[in-house]
Structure 1
């Protein structure tokens, strides 16, 4: 059940089954540090904090801009409505994907703080346990054709839910210790009817394989993408 907490200039949407802590506190890293519940961190555009909630391990991410404009305005976005904000959009999309049976992180809570004509945003979502992205895995070993077929099938499930992943690359595909495929990072992604956009997702993914092969000499060849497409075409 999705609940909504509002106070003055902020709104938090949260899943009451996954979040037992006070929703107004969980986006403050100090809160988790006081609970001795910070279990790690990762550096990207900013710091993603990994925390242990009462229910599951979670990733806490503050939305930050990239590119040249991000150097001027690091974490503020133009406000045009609470439900048009980036954190709410990603929270809602993850909920829809999870309901459709796609392996994505469970959305736990999303926050928006309005400041005049702009807003700042945060997302708390499930940390996938014992998982590595495909880049990290393929640097050390090959994947079997059946695993590529499973990757293709998971992407097809996402497409059958009409979700356009605008940054589908091998950093955003995870493989956990049980062999399950996960798709992550749905910021700026959206639902889109029709099918004419799906090939662009797959083309982007192929480019990322080729890029990482040149950059890191990963264990991959063009035939592997054919196996991925076999799994995709069988499922779509």
Structure 2
């Protein structure tokens, strides 16, 4: 990880293997639109833009608040040091997981811009090619026990790396066209010692299956989670 400071109130962290010219414009959707390099978008708390970088497709996300407070203060966060910014923390966590051979998006660049006591932030990370989240996949049909084993094993690898995914749900688990499992969206996640939080992650994931079963009528049944837990116990082979 390298970093530059274009001015005293701006810091960019980047991976020089993928970003040769780190600049604030990398985090501006208008820059990518002007070059006709926007390849898609997705709506969530805000718009995630999918763009074609010099080396690989990437996802550009601006950090936004959720909930009632987010309606009042959409994208400003209290500044308590550059290494406490959400963009730096997620960039660092993705780096750690990638080095631990966990399937996560490669972090390409992160931005934080300070304004007085607050800051705004953005993250540019790899777009996982030819992948869908579990909700989209299970709306079409069931997946077999081997797929659930792989999901459990990938979560186990993340836990073995000491990372607590505080929003582990089936929107954040992807499967690509080579049957590889990916875990995404590590905003507000962190490294953590001990074990009690690991069960909390798994319980949250199970509740997500149950919730989307009612909302989207996904093809899932409780015994499928037993297969996932078996994969978790065995780990990645």
Asked whether the two chains share a fold, i.e. TM above 0.5, the reply is yes
Given that 1:131 and 1:174 are in contact with CA atoms closer than 8 Å, whether structure 2 keeps it comes out as yes
Hey, what does 1:3 align to over in structure 2? 2
Q: TM-score of the superposition, structure 2-length normalised?
A: 0.97
Count of equivalent residues: 235
**CA shift for structure 1 position 215:** 1.2
Unmatched 5+ stretches in structure 1: none
**CA shift for structure 1 position 108:** 0.3
Cα deviation digits, residues 27-50 of structure 1 (max 9, x gap): 111211222111111111111111
Cα deviation digits, residues 123-181 of structure 1 (max 9, x gap): 00000011100000000111000000000000000000000000000000000011100
**CA shift for structure 1 position 22:** 3.6
The within-5 A match list for 1:194-213 is: 194-213=194-213
The within-5 A match list for 1:173-184 is: 173-184=173-184
Distance 2:89 2:145 in 1: 34
Cα deviation digits, residues 50-96 of structure 1 (max 9, x gap): 10001000000000000000000000000000000101000000000
Greater mean deviation of Cα atoms: 30-39 or 134-143: 30-39
Q: TM-score of the superposition, structure 1-length normalised?
A: 0.98
Match of 1:179, SS state, is: coil
Hey, what does 2:229 align to over in structure 1? 229
**CA shift for structure 1 position 214:** 1.2
Distance 1:115 1:67 in 2: 23
Hey, what does 1:97 align to over in structure 2? 97
Distance 2:66 2:182 in 1: 24
Greater mean deviation of Cα atoms: 212-221 or 56-65: 212-221
Given that 1:21 and 1:53 are in contact with CA atoms closer than 8 Å, whether structure 2 keeps it comes out as no
Hey, what does 1:18 align to over in structure 2? 18
Given that 2:14 and 2:22 are in contact with CA atoms closer than 8 Å, whether structure 1 keeps it comes out as no
Match of 1:150, SS state, is: helix
Distance 1:79 1:163 in 2: 24
The within-5 A match list for 1:157-172 is: 157-172=157-172
Unmatched 5+ stretches in structure 2: none
**Cα RMSD for the two superposed structures:** 0.9
Given that 1:59 and 1:125 are in contact with CA atoms closer than 8 Å, whether structure 2 keeps it comes out as yes
Distance 2:30 2:145 in 1: 45
